Amino acid sequence: MAVSQGLLYTRDHEWAKVEGDTATVGITDYAQEQLGELVFVELPKVGKDFGVHKELAVVESSKAASDVYCPVAGKVAAVNAELEAKPELINEDCYGRGWICKLKVTDQKSLQNLMDAAKYEEYLKTL
């Protein structure tokens, strides 16, 4: 199970790659592994504001549907429309081509509650 360095993580297994005031968001390798092969992704609407830990998207596999929570407070700037036709990109490359959306961070303080890769790896050992 891969944990990518340079990203920030939530206890709900979302990741955020923060560059300036933009955060690219997706689900972790652990999350996609637990879900199994994804068959559908419900993306957020561009322009919509989300608070921390609000339901951002939904990912569905043959096993279950799971909410994806917003790791930081922000406004959706872009979505990965490729996931609508190819949800399996999350399984194949969750930290790359399988990103879900990009947020314009509206509250920098919301980043303080996220874990770095080392802390996330420690957290995974407790599950």
Domains of the chain: 8-106 (2.40.50.100)
For 49-61, write each residue's pLDDT tens digit. 999 999 999 999 9
Listing DSSP states for 13-65 in one string gives SEEEEEETTEEEEEE-HHHHHHH-SEEEEEPPPTT-EE-TT-EEEEEEESS-E
- 86: exposed, middle or buried (C-beta count within 10 Å: 0-12, 13-18, 19+)? middle
Task: Please give the pLDDT value at position 63.
Answer: 85
Q: What is the mean pLDDT of each run of 10 residues along the chain (127 residues)?
A: 96 97 98 96 98 97 94 98 98 98 96 97 97
The pTM of this model reads 0.96
Amino acid 10: pLDDT = 98
